[in-house]
């Protein structure tokens, strides 16, 4: 996803000296290229190992304008109101619980006139990630009562509700369909193995499937999906559509 992260950042108006928060930043797929464009970047993620990996990558690349820190998108208590020119969250904040709180926190820390840009997977979309999540959920035990699916961040009317609930006028919220490309230097089946080992929703699905003897069936369904959608003749290259949300605070 590194190339698509870099390409996305190139087209969202980043300039030198901007204050940027990357929320649910992982190890910096978007935070690093934003910092390379000269913005001052804080990456916040709930996973300590990814925060450490991000800080290591920033240090290796000599990016003193980029820091990663642990934090929870539902409560950014260490961040003051109206701090950032841009809050970016690419497939990040959508995975936090309490989406209404997440919207309020993103709006709170954005400067008036600043922007929030989210990348969110779209429920029932025919492309890769929505299909991985759909297949995985069929093998995973049902979530606890009251659980709100992260995929609801891919429904435009729901996103409007959440941000208007956080005080943003509806005409300041816009949407485009955008694309990330997943490139992997191996076969689609080997790429499925990476998801099995490292991607939370697929890890959970395999854990449950292994307990009831359905792991091989899950592996087969995913391999068929990846193979069908692969556009590369040598390795694996699969496009995935997402909803890019832009909010002006």
Ligand X SMILES: C[S@@+](CC[C@H](N)C(=O)[O-])C[C@H]1O[C@@H](n2cnc3c(N)ncnc32)[C@H](O)[C@@H]1O
| Length of the chain, in residues | 249
Query: Does residue 91 bind ligand X (CB under 6 A)?
Result: yes
| Cβ closest to ligand X, residue 45 vs residue 221 | 45
Site for ligand X in 92-111 (CB under 6 A): 92, 95-96
Site for ligand X in 6-35 (CB under 6 A): 24-26, 29-30
Can you tell me the distance from the alpha carbon of 10 to that of 28, in angstroms, rounded to the nearest whole number?
15
Q: 154-175 burial string, b = 16+ CB within 10 Å, else e?
A: bbeebbbbbbeebebeeeebee
CB nearest ligand X: which residue?
26
Determine the interface stretch with ligand X among 66-74, 159-167, 190-198, 241-249 (rule: CB under 6 A).
66-74
Give the interface size with ligand X as a residue count (CB under 6 A): 19
Q: Nearest CA to 66 among 74, 75, 56?
A: 56
Q: Provide the minimum distance between the beta carbon of 203 and ligand X in the complex, in angstroms, as a whole number.
A: 12
Which of 9, 73, 87, 151 touches ligand X (CB under 6 A)?
A: 73
Rg (CA), the chain: 18
Q: CA angle at residue 224 from 150 to 180, to 5 degrees?
A: 45
Q: Which spans of this chain sit near ligand X (rule: CB under 6 A)? A: 1, 5, 24-26, 29-30, 45-47, 50, 72-74, 90-92, 95-96
């Amino acid at each position: 996803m590194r190339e698509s992260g870099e390409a996305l950042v190139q087209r969202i108006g980043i300039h030198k000296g901007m204050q940027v928060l990357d929320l649910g930043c992982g190890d910096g797929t978007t935070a690093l290229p934003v910092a390379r464009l000269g913005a001052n970047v804080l990456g916040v993620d709930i996973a300590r190992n990814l925060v450490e990996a991000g800080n290591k990558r920033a240090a290796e690349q000599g990016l003193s304008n980029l820091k990663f820190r642990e934090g929870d998108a539902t409560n950014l208590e260490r961040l003051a109101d109206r701090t950032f020119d841009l809050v970016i969250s690419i497939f990040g904040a959508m995975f936090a619980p309490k989406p209404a709180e997440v919207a309020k926190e993103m709006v709170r820390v954005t400067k008036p006139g600043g922007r929030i840009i989210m990348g969110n997977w779209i429920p029932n979309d025919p492309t890769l990630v929505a299909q991985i999540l759909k297949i995985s959920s069929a093998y995973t035990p049902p979530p606890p009562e009251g659980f709100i699916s992260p995929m609801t961040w891919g429904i435009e009317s729901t996103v409007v509700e959440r941000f208007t609930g956080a005080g943003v006028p509806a005409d300041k919220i816009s949407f485009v369909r955008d694309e990330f490309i997943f490139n992997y230097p191996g076969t689609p089946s080997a790429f499925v193995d990476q998801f099995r080992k490292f991607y939370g929703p697929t890890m959970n699905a395999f854990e449950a499937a292994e307990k009831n003897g359905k792991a091989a069936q899950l592996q087969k369904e995913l391999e068929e999906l990846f193979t069908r959608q692969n556009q590369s003749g040598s390795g694996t290259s699969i496009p995935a559509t997402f909803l890019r949300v832009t909010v002006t605070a």
